[in-house]
């Protein structure tokens, strides 16, 4: 497990209840857990081994592990060998990354790296899992790819006990259309105006958001719609974004709080409480560790005058399209349902191919909004009733009758049927990834600096930026502190509880220090999502536990060139004791409180 701390986060892109319990069960049945993290996180503490890498170095570590697997003839693709291409290319791509070549940049000795690779290859089953700490980095996409490559080369792709694919009940691209065919991934169909950064899957990088607002010229962003996001706390160089938002002509937000971002909005549409909404988790159930389907009905009714969030969004879409504020949100809702039904009847591999769209729409009545769309997607999905074609198949009615969810069984091997690649094969070395390895190779020659690198961390009691206005969650010891290794603390003269001044190219902040050996020397950790109490916000509890905004330090010029993703971990910073100027003009270091 690299760059993930499920004891705090309960997992990410690997959805299951009780991750800690699962890890404990894994160890109880004789399994071994190795955690790769610059911090000895709670998960690392529960693990058999903690590998304290330098931030940002995961792709080097992973490439070296793949290298060892090839070099020692340990490659075994298992059952996927008959439909995998690119193995020889991978061997060539990782050739320069010997354990000896990467040990300085990874900060872990070559012997340990080679042993990890051998252990992994020798295990009867194993899974490599990398998350936020590995992806929000300069070579984040390569790190994710190398995780997959390592799983494949050790025979763990698509086998029970290894890394498997969910068969989701709703919305899965890998159960739609023809098996073993798909479109290639295209990056860079559009480019951002100011820096010319390419889009990925239609999205432009968040690292160019502020400059698109504050750089004059044709195409400058002057209006902004923010839906359930708090980018002033969650995105790099948020000081610049904060100022850019203040300078916009117009901003709309849909949010439950008047916070650091929504304070810039001209109009805020409040969303009803989570308890007043129906819920089906389309996104995270694509990555379930078991096939399940869950629908929650609203627990509480809407108050008079309250509007469902989807209606707010539909109305905004209508206004933006010129239809005006009085237009009926049903127009958008019907358009969505109609579009989905038509694509379902057009799918020659689907269960309703060739049927009359109006007949299916009639069968979905009287539901509307998300409930209708979920019912439709369930019924044409891999477990669906196919609108009568499959007796006992899933419908939303069946989920409503099963408030604890429907268990669709453990994950089962899905290859090659689940492949949606252009070649119909597992493509181990797709061109954009293979090309990016040159950038990683070049970085191997960079001198390994000795300055501080800043990483984040998550806390069980916090959720990104927005759980800090709830007293029971923020009471007790402060959560927004900077972890600092005792050796670094001694060298800098910073005691536990003292205030440190942390600076980067983009900003500076003062934060209380927590001296702890649960972090690698040379690395400091500050959680993101804090920095409350700004003028114009209305979150009284959060303001009393304000903390600092770590993303003032994250640099919008640092991003993964392949994906455009922001670098949020491994940010170069300077750390010093906070110096205050006293009335006699002399400088004094702050003392521990
Ligand atoms: N309680 C709680 N749960 C959450 C969230 C929350 O804020 N609070 N957020 C949710 C969200 S949006 C997400 S995406 C998931 C994220 O879930 P996880 O991916 O588990 O994320 P974190 O808990 O932040 O763990 C990231 C770990 O990466 C480490 N790290 C930092 N830099 C590096 C590096 O360069 N290499 C390696 N190997 N490790 C590094 C950090 O020290 C940290 O321990 O959690 C979700 N769950
Ligand atoms: N330094 C650093 N930065 C990070 C990360 C990191 O690990 N380190 N993690 C990154 C990750 S993984 C993520 S996902 C992003 C998250 O970044 P954001 O999505 O920008 O941040 P959140 O704090 O999750 O913002 C959620 C917003 O939704 C609002 N909200 C809550 N419930 C509702 C609702 O029902 N309806 C509506 N409309 N609004 C609601 C909240 O009030 C809040 O304003 O942050 C990223 N930023
Ligand atoms: Mo996230």
Ligand 1 centroid to residue 458 C-alpha, Å: 6
Q: Is the pLDDT of residue 590 over 60?
A: no
Q: Is the pLDDT of residue 88 over 60?
A: yes
Tell me the average pLDDT of the chain: 96
Tally Cβ neighbours within 10 Å of residue 384: 23
How far is 104 from 54, CA to CA, in rounded Å? 9
How far is 457 from 518, CA to CA, in rounded Å? 12
Ligand 1 centroid to residue 572 C-alpha, Å: 19
Nearest to 282 by CA among 361, 346, 374: 374
Query: Which of 135, 228, 233, 284 to mutate for ligand 2's pocket (most ligand atoms within 8 Å of CB)?
Result: 228
pLDDT value of position 557: 97
For residue range 97-115, list pLDDT tens digits in order: 999 999 999 999 999 999 9
pLDDT value of position 563: 95
Nearest to 363 by CA among 385, 346, 347: 385
Point out the ligand 2 atom lying closest to the alpha carbon of residue 458: 7
Ligand 2 centroid to residue 466 C-alpha, Å: 7
Residue 247 burial (10 A CB sphere; 0-12, 13-18, 19+) = exposed
Point out the ligand 2 atom lying closest to the alpha carbon of residue 273: 35
How far is 77 from 150, CA to CA, in rounded Å? 10
Burial 71-84 (b: 16+ CB within 10 A, else e): beebbebbebeebb
Concatenated DSSP letters of 146-170: HHHHHHHHTT-BTSTTSB-----SS
Query: Which of 6, 11, 12 to mutate for ligand 1's pocket (most ligand atoms within 8 Å of CB)?
Result: 12
Ligand 1 centroid to residue 300 C-alpha, Å: 32
Q: How far is CA 151 from CA 6, 141, 148, 158, 264, in A?
A: 20, 16, 5, 9, 46
For residue range 530-573, list pLDDT tens digits in order: 999 999 999 999 999 999 999 999 999 999 999 999 999 999 99
How far is 556 from 208, CA to CA, in rounded Å? 7
Tally Cβ neighbours within 10 Å of residue 248: 16
Nearest to 254 by CA among 304, 319, 347: 319
Ligand 3 centroid to residue 540 C-alpha, Å: 25
Task: Identify the residue whose C-alpha is closest to ligand 1 atom 33.
Answer: 133
Query: Which of 236, 255, 308 to mutate for ligand 2's pocket (most ligand atoms within 8 Å of CB)?
Result: 255
Residue 449 burial (10 A CB sphere; 0-12, 13-18, 19+) = exposed
Specify the 3-state DSSP secondary structure of 215.
Answer: coil
Point out the ligand 2 atom lying closest to the alpha carbon of residue 261: 44
Q: Angle of helix 357-364 relative to helix 330-346, nearest 10 degrees? A: 130
How far is 283 from 536, CA to CA, in rounded Å? 34
3-state secondary structure 295-339: CECCCCCCCCCCCCHHHHHHHHHHHHCCCCCCCCCHHHHHHHHHH
Nearest to 232 by CA among 475, 588, 554: 554
Which pLDDT band, with edges at 50, 70 and 90, does 10 fall under? Answer: very high
Task: Identify the residue whose C-alpha is closest to ligand 2 atom 18.
Answer: 229
pLDDT value of position 186: 85
Q: Is the pLDDT of residue 587 over 70?
A: no
As a whole number, mean pLDDT of residues 569-582 equals: 88
pLDDT value of position 593: 33
Specify the 3-state DSSP secondary structure of 438.
Answer: helix
> What are the pocket residues of ligand 1 if the criterion is a CB atom closer than 6 Å to any ligand atom?
2-6, 8-10, 12, 36-39, 41, 53, 55-56, 58, 131-134, 137, 455-458, 460, 462-464, 569-570
Spell out the residues 6+ positions from residue 20 whose beta carbon is closer than 8 angstroms to its own. Answer: 6, 7, 10, 46
Q: Kindly identify the ligand whose nearest atom is closest to the C-alpha of 234.
A: 2
Beta strands in 518-557 (DSSP E): 523-525
Spell out the residues 6+ positions from residue 344 whose beta carbon is closer than 8 angstroms to its own. Answer: 350, 352, 360, 376, 380
Sole residue written with tokens 């999502």:
529
Ligand 1 centroid to residue 107 C-alpha, Å: 21
Task: Identify the residue whose C-alpha is closest to ligand 1 atom 37.
Answer: 3
For residue range 336-387, list pLDDT tens digits in order: 999 999 999 999 999 999 999 999 999 999 999 999 999 999 999 999 999 9
Which pLDDT band, with edges at 50, 70 and 90, does 579 fall under? Answer: confident
Q: Are 161 and 125 in contact (CB under 8 A)?
A: yes
The H helix count followed by the E strand count for the chain is: 21, 19
For residue range 374-428, list pLDDT tens digits in order: 999 999 999 999 999 999 999 999 999 999 999 999 999 999 999 999 999 999 9
As a whole number, mean pLDDT of residues 107-126 equals: 98
For residue range 222-257, list pLDDT tens digits in order: 999 999 999 999 999 999 999 999 999 999 999 999
Sole residue written with tokens 């001209």:
266
- Start-to-end Cα distance in the chain: 37
Which pLDDT band, with edges at 50, 70 and 90, does 588 fall under? Answer: very low
For residue range 471-499, list pLDDT tens digits in order: 999 999 999 999 999 999 999 999 999 99
Query: 582: phi > 0 → left, psi -120 to 50 → alpha, else beta; which?
Result: beta
For residue range 154-165, list pLDDT tens digits in order: 999 999 999 999
Ligand 3 centroid to residue 318 C-alpha, Å: 29
């Amino acid at each position: 497990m690299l760059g993930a701390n499920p004891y705090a986060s309960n997992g990410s892109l690997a959805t299951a209840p009780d991750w800690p319990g699962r890890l404990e069960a894994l160890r109880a049945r004789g399994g071994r857990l190795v955690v790769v993290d610059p911090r000895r996180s709670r998960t690392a503490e529960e693990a058999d081994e903690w590998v304290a890498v330098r931030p940002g170095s995961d792709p080097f570590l992973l490439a070296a592990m793949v290298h060892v697997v090839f070099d020692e003839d340990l490659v075994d693709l298992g059952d996927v060998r008959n439909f995998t291409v690119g193995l020889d290319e991978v061997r060539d791509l990782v050739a320069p990354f010997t354990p000896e070549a990467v040990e300085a940049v990874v900060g872990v000795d070559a012997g340990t790296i080679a042993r990890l690779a051998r252990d992994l290859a020798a295990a009867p089953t194993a899974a490599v899992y990398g998350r936020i700490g590995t992806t929000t980095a300069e070579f984040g996409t390569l790190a994710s790819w190398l995780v997959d490559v390592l799983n494949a080369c050790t025979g763990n792709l698509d086998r029970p006990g290894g890394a498997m694919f969910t068969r989701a009940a709703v919305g899965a691209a890998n159960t739609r259309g023809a098996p073993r065919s798909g479109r290639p991934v295209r990056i860079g169909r559009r480019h951002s105006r100011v820096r010319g950064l390419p889009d990925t899957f239609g999205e432009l990088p968040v690292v160019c958001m502020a400059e698109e607002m504050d750089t004059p010229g044709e195409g400058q962003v002057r209006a902004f719609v923010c839906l359930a996001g708090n980018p002033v706390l969650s995105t790099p160089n948020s000081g610049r974004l904060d100022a850019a938002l203040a300078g916009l002509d117009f901003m709309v937000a849909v949010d439950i709080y008047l916070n650091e971002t929504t304070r810039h909005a001209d109009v805020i549409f409040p969303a009803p409480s989570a308890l007043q909404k129906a819920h089906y988790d389309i996104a995270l159930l694509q990555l379930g560790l078991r096939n399940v389907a869950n629908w929650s009905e609203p627990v509480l009714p809407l108050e008079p005058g309250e509007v469902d969030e989807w209606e707010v969004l539909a109305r905004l879409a209508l206004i933006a399209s010129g239809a005006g504020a009085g237009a009926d949100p049903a127009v958008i809702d019907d358009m969505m349902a109609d579009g989905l039904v038509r694509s379902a009847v057009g799918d020659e591999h689907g269960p309703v191919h060739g049927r009359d769209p109006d007949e299916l729409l009639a069968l979905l009545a009287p539901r509307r909004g998300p409930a209708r769309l979920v019912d439709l997607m369930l019924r044409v999905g891999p477990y669906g009733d196919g609108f009568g074609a499959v007796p006992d198949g899933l419908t939303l009615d069946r989920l409503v009758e099963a408030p604890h969810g429907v268990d669709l069984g453990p994950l089962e091997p899905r290859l090659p049927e689940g492949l949606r690649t252009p070649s119909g094969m597992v493509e181990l070395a797709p061109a954009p990834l293979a090309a990016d390895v040159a950038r990683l190779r070049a970085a191997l020659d960079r001198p390994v600096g000795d300055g501080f690198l800043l990483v984040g961390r998550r806390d069980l009691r916090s959720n990104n930026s927005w759980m800090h206005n709830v007293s029971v969650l923020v009471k007790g010891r402060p959560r927004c502190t900077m972890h600092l290794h005792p050796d670094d603390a001694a060298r800098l003269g910073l005691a536990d509880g003292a205030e440190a001044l942390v600076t980067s190219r983009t900003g500076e902040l003062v934060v209380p220090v927590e001296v702890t050996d649960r972090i690698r020397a040379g690395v400091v950790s500050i959680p993101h999502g804090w920095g409350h109490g700004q003028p114009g916000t209305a979150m009284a509890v959060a303001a009393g536990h304000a903390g600092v905004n770590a993303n003032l330090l994250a640099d919008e010029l640092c991003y993964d060139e392949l994906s455009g993703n922001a670098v949020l971990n491994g940010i170069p910073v300077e750390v010093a004791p906070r110096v205050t100027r006293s009335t006699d003009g002399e400088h004094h270091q702050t003392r521990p409180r």
